[in-house]
């Protein structure tokens, strides 16, 4: 006979599952659009203007403003009263911006097109960290570890399927139509936000002040778990950002052209596998910061094995194994941000953290580009060393960790 507690648990499981499914529909649609747009923009620029340089400028216009706008976007999201309207409007605006770029490239002046792309790019933080920060308002605390793991899966799926979808659409129809479809997908995801049970905030908060933004940023330096998660993941991205350059050198070393994209695909598939495994059985969720540290060490060890092999298949295995470690790492990172961020600054912590990671990744790509003469083996060891250094830094930054850090978010955040 079922107990009253088990019946109550089962009755709650259904609605929770439905909410998570609706959330994942939103996340997949907008993140597919974001990842696919990077390919569609370049193909569109070449098709309309015969300039790959303009394609690169369009990508930069879409991505760079997201780094600058992340603190403000997160701060506004933490204070706006009608959250569904705000998030839905931003996602629809992003999708509409992609559609506008598809119509304008090659037909109006380049500065106008770049301005449109840059304006749409200001909404990018709400496609990533901004959306993820909503999970703690949509689901109970006990369901969050699995939810963050599935959210990490949405990032992985978008990273794999987005560029493939954009390429397929551009080839079968046209680059402009491909970008229009991606924009329509993002706008549809924005409209689906209205199906999420996000109630308006009960009380109107004070107007956004510069001090609020400084206080949220200070958490990433002052709070031991948050600073460990933030800066360890940032240093790790310094290496991960260099991997596309590394893959080019490895493809030349093995004389295997497909390895340029194949090695990154192997890592992405490994990350997807790791995320799914972690979603099935989350572990280390009580102290996600230590899970991140452990997975950084494991990622470094897997990548360090690549220079020791003499064929591309074994190298792909090393990349896939590294990806299997980054899946749980990312899920634990999201769990930790949610757990240790105060409610009043949760979205800002997510968007700032994502911005810092993007900045480090860009720096890593730039450094690798200038260090190509060192050779593929040296670069791979450098990337692996970044993961180990990030793990050590993360452990050192945990010094002074609060005694109440293992409490549920509702209790932990009372101290801020």
**pLDDT tens digits for range 316-327:** 999 999 999 999
Q: How confident is the model at residue 299 (pLDDT cuts 50, 70, 90)?
A: very high
Task: Tell me the whole-structure pTM to 2 decimals.
Answer: 0.82
**Considering only CA atoms, which of 81, 398, 44 is closest in space to residue 225?**
398
Cβ atoms of 302 and 321 closer than 8 Å: yes
Tens digit of pLDDT for each residue in 340-391?
Answer: 998 888 888 998 898 888 888 878 887 887 787 788 899 999 999 999 999 9
Cα torsion angle, 340, 342, 343, 347, sign = negative
Mean pLDDT of the chain: 86
Tens digit of pLDDT for each residue in 27-67?
Answer: 999 999 999 998 899 899 999 998 888 988 898 888 888 88
Q: What is the pLDDT at residue 200?
A: 84
Is the pLDDT reported for residue 406 higher than 60?
Answer: no
End-to-end CA distance of the chain: 45
Tens digit of pLDDT for each residue in 73-109?
Answer: 888 888 888 899 999 999 999 999 999 999 999 999 9
Spell out the domains of the chain, with CATH numbers in brackets: 16-195 (1.20.1250.20), 210-403 (1.20.1250.20)
Q: What is the pLDDT at residue 207?
A: 65
Q: What is the pLDDT at residue 344?
A: 81
Q: How confident is the model at residue 402 (pLDDT cuts 50, 70, 90)?
A: very low
- Between CA 140 and CA 344 the distance in angstroms is 18
Q: What is the pLDDT at residue 215?
A: 73
Q: What is the pLDDT at residue 2?
A: 41
Cβ atoms of 90 and 126 closer than 8 Å: yes
Q: How confident is the model at residue 244 (pLDDT cuts 50, 70, 90)?
A: confident
Q: What is the pLDDT at residue 132?
A: 93
Is the pLDDT reported for residue 285 higher than 80?
Answer: no
Give the range among 84-88, 179-183, 202-206, 287-291 with minimum mean pLDDT.
202-206
Give the range among 9-13, 118-122, 225-229 with minimum mean pLDDT.
9-13
Is the pLDDT reported for residue 293 higher than 90?
Answer: yes
Q: What is the 3-state secondary structure (H, E, C) of the chain?
A: CCCHHHHHHHHHHHHHHHHHHHHHHHHHHHHHHHHHHHHHHHHHHHHHHCCHHHHHHHHHHHHHHHHHHHHHHHHHHHHCCCHHHHHHHHHHHHHHHHHHHHHHCCCCCHHHHHHHHHHHHCCHHHCCHHHHCCHHHHCCHHHHHHHHHHHHHHHHHHHHHHHHHHHHHHHHCCHHHHHHHHHHHHHHHHHHHHHCCCCCCCCCCCCCCHHHHHHHHHHHHHCHHHHHHHHHHHHHHHHHCCHHHHHHHHHHHHCCCCHHHHHHHHHHHHHHHHHHHHHHCCCCCCCHHHHHHHHHHHHHHHHHCHHHCCCHHHHHHHHHHHHHHHHHHHHHHHHHHHHHCCHHHHHHHHHHHHHHHHHHHHHHHHHHHHCHHHCHHHHHHHHHHHHHHHHHHHHHHCCCCCCCCCCCHHHHHHHC
Q: How confident is the model at residue 409 (pLDDT cuts 50, 70, 90)?
A: very low
Is the pLDDT reported for residue 289 higher than 70?
Answer: yes
Q: What is the pLDDT at residue 370?
A: 79
- Between CA 276 and CA 57 the distance in angstroms is 35
Is the pLDDT reported for residue 312 higher than 80?
Answer: yes
Q: How confident is the model at residue 414 (pLDDT cuts 50, 70, 90)?
A: very low
Tens digit of pLDDT for each residue in 137-152?
Answer: 999 988 888 899 999 9
- Between CA 194 and CA 191 the distance in angstroms is 6
The residue with tokens 């609706």 is 22
Q: What is the pLDDT at residue 365?
A: 80
- Between CA 133 and CA 333 the distance in angstroms is 12
Q: Which residues of 238-253 are buried (b: 16+ CB within 10 A; e: fewer)?
A: bbbbbbbbbbbbbbeb
**Considering only CA atoms, which of 154, 176, 216 is closest in space to residue 341?**
216
Q: What is the pLDDT at residue 205?
A: 59
Tens digit of pLDDT for each residue in 151-167?
Answer: 999 999 998 899 889 98
């Amino acid at each position: 006979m079922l107990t009253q507690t088990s019946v109550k648990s089962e009755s709650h499981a259904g609605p929770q599952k439905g909410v998570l499914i609706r959330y994942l529909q939103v996340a997949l649609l907008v993140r597919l659009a974001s990842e696919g747009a990077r390919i569609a923009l370049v193909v569109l620029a070449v098709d309309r203007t015969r300039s790959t340089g303009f394609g690169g400028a369009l990508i930069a216009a879409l991505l760079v403003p997201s780094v600058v706008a992340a603190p403000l976007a997160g701060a506004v999201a933490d204070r706006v009263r009608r959250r569904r309207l705000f998030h839905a409007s931003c996602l629809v605006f992003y999708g509409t911006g992609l559609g506008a770029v598809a119509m304008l490239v090659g037909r109006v002046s380049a500065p106008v097109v770049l301005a449109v792309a840059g304006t749409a790019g200001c909404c990018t933080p709400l496609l990533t960290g901004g959306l993820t920060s909503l999970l703690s308002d949509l689901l109970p605390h006990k369901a969050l570890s699995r939810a963050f793991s599935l959210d990490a899966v949405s990032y992985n799926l978008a990273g794999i399927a987005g560029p493939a979808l954009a390429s397929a659409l551009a080839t079968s129809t046209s680059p402009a139509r491909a970008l229009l479809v991606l924009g329509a997908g993002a706008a549809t995801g924005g409209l689906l936000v209205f199906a999420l049970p996000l109630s308006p905030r009960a009380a109107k908060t004070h107007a956004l002040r510069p001090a609020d933004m400084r206080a949220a940023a200070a958490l990433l330096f002052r709070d031991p778990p948050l600073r460990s998660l933030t800066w360890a993941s940032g240093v790790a991205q310094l290496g991960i950002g260099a991997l596309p350059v590394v893959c080019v050198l490895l493809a030349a070393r093995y004389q295997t052209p497909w390895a340029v994209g194949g090695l990154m695909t192997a890592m992405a598939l490994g990350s997807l596998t790791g995320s799914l495994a972690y979603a099935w059985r989350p572990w280390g969720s009580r102290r996600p910061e230590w899970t991140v540290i452990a997975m950084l060490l494991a990622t470094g060890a897997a990548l360090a094995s690549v220079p020791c092999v003499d064929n591309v298949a074994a190298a792909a295995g090393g990349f896939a194994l590294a990806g299997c470690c980054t899946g749980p790492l990312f899920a634990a990172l999201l769990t930790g941000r949610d757990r240790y961020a105060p409610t009043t600054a949760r979205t800002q912590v997510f968007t700032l953290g994502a911005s810092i990671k993007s900045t480090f990744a860009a720096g890593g790509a730039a450094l690798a580009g200038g260090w190509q003469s060192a050779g593929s083996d040296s670069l791979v060891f450098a990337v692996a060393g970044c993961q180990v250094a990030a793990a050590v830094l993360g452990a050192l930054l945990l010094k002074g960790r609060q005694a109440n850090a293992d409490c549920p978010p509702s209790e932990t955040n009372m101290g801020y």
